[in-house]
Amino acid sequence: MARVFNFSAGPSTLPVEVLEQVQSELLDWRGTGMSVMEMSHRSPAFESIIRELEADLRTLIGIPDSYAVLFLQGGATQQFFQIPMAFLGDGYADYIITGEWGKKAYETARPFGKVNVPWDGADTNYNRLPVDFFTDRFAAYTHFTSNETVHGVQFPGDPEITGTWVADMSSDICSRPLDVTKYALIYAGAQKNLGPAGLTVVIARRDFLAGSSNTLPPYLDYRQHDKAGSLLHTPSCFAIYVTGLVIKRLQALGGLPAVDSVNRTKAEIIYNQLDGYFYRGHARPDARSLMNVTFHLPSEALTKRFVEESRAAGLDGLAGHRSVGGIRASLYNAMPTEGTRALAEFMTEFRQQHG
Ligand code: PMP
């Protein structure tokens, strides 16, 4: 068996220890005589899996009881419309657009009511952040994307001022410490830092949820999912199980401060390779993502060659998104430091050969 270093933007690499545990429990989950894949979501065994995940996630991030933790489906893409359907009402929302995903969230929300764009970085192809967080007390909510997966632009931390903040944290949740109380609602697809695809985590203040629309189908009503403990219908059972194992591992590694410290080291290893000439970073230095490092080579031909040769060297998934081009190295939690070292060495050699 030969595993590659997988730099894919998502679905993405998972901790090998977790995959091994899944393998060892695949046919018989802890004496139940069945796989989690085969288990009723109403069984005591699965109840224990989902409740343990919730408890562990609350401990890892520090989520107070005044917040609901929901395990939903539909991806972040569903949140793009579920949020405006639930919270726009007769008011308006602000969308701060720092990249491809913020733009998608905004465009999806538009048919549901009034949405404003107080800041949009399109004029420099989303390589920067607003100078400051700003707030609009009258907005139903202000939406932003903490980490823009395509452009490689990340806010340095939580918003520093009050406001009804809604954040898409799909590509940086659990990669660093987080003050949940700064937010009304946080959502994230699991398939980058948390686990397999098919699961969307929503963390929301219960008094914010209380004000949501009363005319939605139950499936789109966050309060119903909260009341049912995310068992309103059949959830993504297997993804919930694997995510539970990932969260336990993050806790064992020392929690989010320790995870953050490793992530900073990993990102620095790659950013140190960007010399501004042969490897040109896409994001401005003060907006750089620790999760998705985006950069360009001097030509299309060299970019193509870089992708091909890196793949042959066991470094997979490095082609950039078509809207940015170039290379994107995704360094989520489960990417080991040795993987980033291997990439940095490859970059040095490639530059020596072609620079
Ligand atoms: N938001 C961000 C920041 C993302 O990175 C992605 C997926 N790459 C999405 C939203 C869309 O997520 P999904 O495919 O889970 O709907």
Cα dihedral 12, 13, 17, 20, rounded to 10, equals: 70
The CATH number that domain 255-354 falls under is 3.90.1150.10
Q: Where are the domains of the chain?
A: 17-252, 255-354
**Residue 165: strand, helix, or coil:** strand
Q: Would residue 192 show up in a list of annotated catalytic residues for this protein?
A: yes
The ligand 1 atom at the shortest distance from the C-alpha of residue 79 is 16
**In the prediction, which pLDDT does 131 show?**
87
Q: Whose CA is nearest to atom 5 of ligand 1?
A: 149
Strands 153-154 and 147-148 come out as antiparallel
Which of 12, 77, 126 has the most ligand 1 atoms within 8 A of CB, as the residue to mutate? 77
Among the listed residues 29, 119, 172, 192, the single catalytic one is: 192
What is the per-residue pLDDT across 28-75, written as a single tens digit (0 to 9) for each? 999 999 999 999 999 999 999 999 999 999 999 999 999 999 999 999
Dist CA 57 CA 193 (whole Å): 13
Mean pLDDT (the chain) is 97
Ligand 1 in contact with 75 (CB < 6 A)? yes
For residue 161, CA distances in Å to 6, 91, 118, 165, 198 come to 37, 21, 16, 10, 33
Point out the residues of the chain with pLDDT beneath 50: none
Buried-state track 6-18, b at ≥16 Cβ within 10 A, e below 16: bbbbbbbbbbeeb
Q: Would residue 168 show up in a list of annotated catalytic residues for this protein?
A: yes
Dist CA 256 CA 268 (whole Å): 18
Query: Whose CA is closest to 266, among 246, 292, 284, 286?
Result: 292
CATH 3.30.530.20 for domain 17-252, yes or no, is no
Rounded to two decimals, the pTM is: 0.98
